[in-house]
Amino acid sequence: MKIKCVLFDIDDTLYDTSLQMSEARLNAVKAMIEAGLPANIEMAYRVLEEIVKEYGRHYNQHFDRLLERLGLKWNPRVIAAGVTAYRETSSVYLKPYSDTVPTLLKLRESGRKLGVVSEGRAVKQWQKLIQLGIQHLFDRVLVSEEVKEDTVTPEMFRLVLKELGAFPEETVFVGNRLDTDILCANKTGVISIRMRKGEHRVEEPKSPEMAPKYEIGKISEIFGVLKKLEK
Amino acid sequence: MKIKCVLFDIDDTLYDTSLQMSEARLNAVKAMIEAGLPANIEMAYRVLEEIVKEYGRHYNQHFDRLLERLGLKWNPRVIAAGVTAYRETSSVYLKPYSDTVPTLLKLRESGRKLGVVSEGRAVKQWQKLIQLGIQHLFDRVLVSEEVKEDTVTPEMFRLVLKELGAFPEETVFVGNRLDTDILCANKTGVISIRMRKGEHRVEEPKSPEMAPKYEIGKISEIFGVLKKLEK
């Protein structure tokens, strides 16, 4: 059967989010130390990771909490050094994988519809697509915030498929997380492809529902999957 | 008398904040229109300016309000286009005036203490100094948030003078606003120099207390003032 529609997650699927985050945090900690933070890099980095885990990615005072947790008083110079380094590094690493754009172009040129189904804040996810320079390549982008959810849901897949006029069995979805991306795709009958990238690459499915139909290590390997499906 | 200490405001004194803001807003509006905002540039820009005036600069949903006020529904793609263009433009225009760094260096090399006394959020103001590349040139930076104030106060001047070991009469302060910067410097006996730059450049003092002792049109003109004061 011809695959009419290809859907993607963004983070660790279209670009290397895990590398971006770890480099941004590392450079932030280094800049803070250079600006006077009395701590060593490894320790401060570890504490920062704990804080991000605890308060979530969208919290905007990670560095304030870092100083607190190190027993130091609030220091706007040190925090500003961290914020500046974090942003600059994030921006440098916000680049598509080398095969992302060629793959998306080739998929479009073979007459398929492309979409994004992603968790997160809608404006933030759109900013990523714009800065990655790939915002014009998708027929539909749906971010969980738009349906008032924190993570992707089966309903999001149903909504996008309806808009793009595709059935689940003629649709593939590429995502990196088993417990959200792959699970929801499986639940809606969309053919799930796991992208083994980033911090979740070592996980194994905790239930048959989370097991991906296919696995790839880079985005251009999708053509091998399509070949199998369409033969 | 020898002038031992030179204090500066940041915005529209060390760099062209007014130009930065107006270009960032203009490019944001243009990007939003290119991303599908059905409005004309002049009108959308004017509405955005009203929103900034109404909600303040530190509010973080100006573009959400812009869509609302234009009677349009929330559109993360359009908002993200605005945010991205705004940030990129802000960053490009965050450059010192051409004579800022040479002037600061020359003042330091003549054995004077340099400081910043500025209104705003401390981390944001430090980020500006860092991105302007001038954070190492000051002996003391004090931002109003650190003393729990929204604008500069006479107490801030007293605090900085005490720390730098200078008397008011051997200190000059360069700032662009009559109703805050110049007024507070005058109140503490610091010699006030008005920088006639940015959106406040056309204002005239509403009371004798707001009248600056000197006026300059660019930062390097401070040497002419120092020459008069020290002769």
pLDDT digits (tens, 9 = 90+) for B138-175: 999 999 999 999 999 999 999 999 999 999 999 999 99
3-state secondary structure of A4: coil
DSSP structural state of residue B7: E
- Fold observed for domain A5-16+97-230: Rossmann fold (3.40.50)
Same fold, A5-16+97-230 and A18-93: no
3-state secondary structure of A193: strand
SS (H, E, C) A84-115: HHHHHHHHHHCCECCCHHHHHHHHHHCCCEEE
pLDDT one digit per residue (tens) for chain A, 231 residues: 899 999 999 999 999 999 999 999 999 999 999 999 999 999 999 999 999 999 988 888 999 999 999 999 999 999 999 999 999 999 999 999 999 999 999 999 999 999 999 999 999 999 999 999 999 999 999 999 999 999 999 999 999 999 999 999 999 999 999 999 999 999 999 999 999 999 999 999 999 999 999 999 999 999 999 999 998
Give yes or no for a contact between A216 and A225, defined as CB atoms under 8 angstroms apart: yes
Does the beta-carbon distance from A123 to B80 stay under 8 Å?
yes
| pLDDT of amino acid B15 | 98
**Mean per-residue pLDDT for B63-89?**
97
Does the beta-carbon distance from A83 to B143 stay under 8 Å?
no
CB atoms within 10 A of CB B92: 12
Instruction: List CB contacts (< 8 A) between A131 and chain B.
Output: 84
Q: A60, A65, A121, A123: which to substitute to probe chain B, counting the most B Cβ within 10 Å?
A: A123
CATH number belonging to the domain at B5-15+97-230, selected among 3.40.50.1000, 2.40.128.90, 3.40.640.10, 3.90.1150.10: 3.40.50.1000
CB atoms within 10 A of CB A106: 14
| pLDDT of amino acid A1 | 85
Does the beta-carbon distance from A76 to B146 stay under 8 Å?
yes
Does the beta-carbon distance from A84 to B130 stay under 8 Å?
yes
Does the beta-carbon distance from A122 to B76 stay under 8 Å?
yes
Number of H helices, E strands in chain B: 9, 6
* Nearest CB neighbour to A130, from listed B80, B127, B135: B80
Q: Which residue of chain A has the CA closest to B122?
A: A76
CATH class of the region B18-93: mainly alpha
pTM for this structure? 0.91
Q: Domain-by-domain residue ranges, chain A? A: 5-16+97-230, 18-93
As a whole number of angstroms, the distance between CA A148 and CA A145 comes to 5
